[in-house]
Amino acid sequence: MNISSFLLILANTLMLVSGQFLWKYGLMQREKPFESIRTIIEVILSPYIIGGLFIYGCATVLWLFILTRVDLSLAYPIQSLAYIISIIGAYYFFGESLSMLKIVGCLLILAGVACIGFSGKYA
């Protein structure tokens, strides 16, 4: 896999995480977003939720393009970097906890992605 393919996968991953963050922020704007049909519709029509859906749609189109260039068995594990980005982002943007176990989990994910990435080079 070349650097441009890796950067495309990384861009796709960042788009997915950004969409999730917009959804989370949009849901945080209401005290009880699923209290009634009316509040559900209001949440769905929120600019944050719609923006997240738009970004997700763009990420899906990009993913389809990526799959024409990169083996799924290589591309999909790299996309697991979204877990790490989301944990770090949630800590900074939403004040969520960042425990030692989460950090160890992130390191294990990085190690797994590295092993998969190198497997194509040395197999």
Q: Give the integer Cα–Cα distance in Å for 104 and 91.
A: 15
Domain span at residue 72?
A: 3-120
pLDDT digits (tens, 9 = 90+) for 45-70: 999 999 999 999 999 999 999 999 99
- Mean pLDDT for all residues in the chain: 92
Is the pLDDT at 17 greater than 90? The verdict is yes
Residue 73, pLDDT score:
87
CB 59 within 8 A of CB 16: yes
Q: How many distinct structural domains can be found in the chain? A: 1
Is the pLDDT at 120 greater than 80? The verdict is no
Residue 1, pLDDT score:
76
Q: How many residues would you count in the chain?
A: 123
Span 3-19, average pLDDT: 96
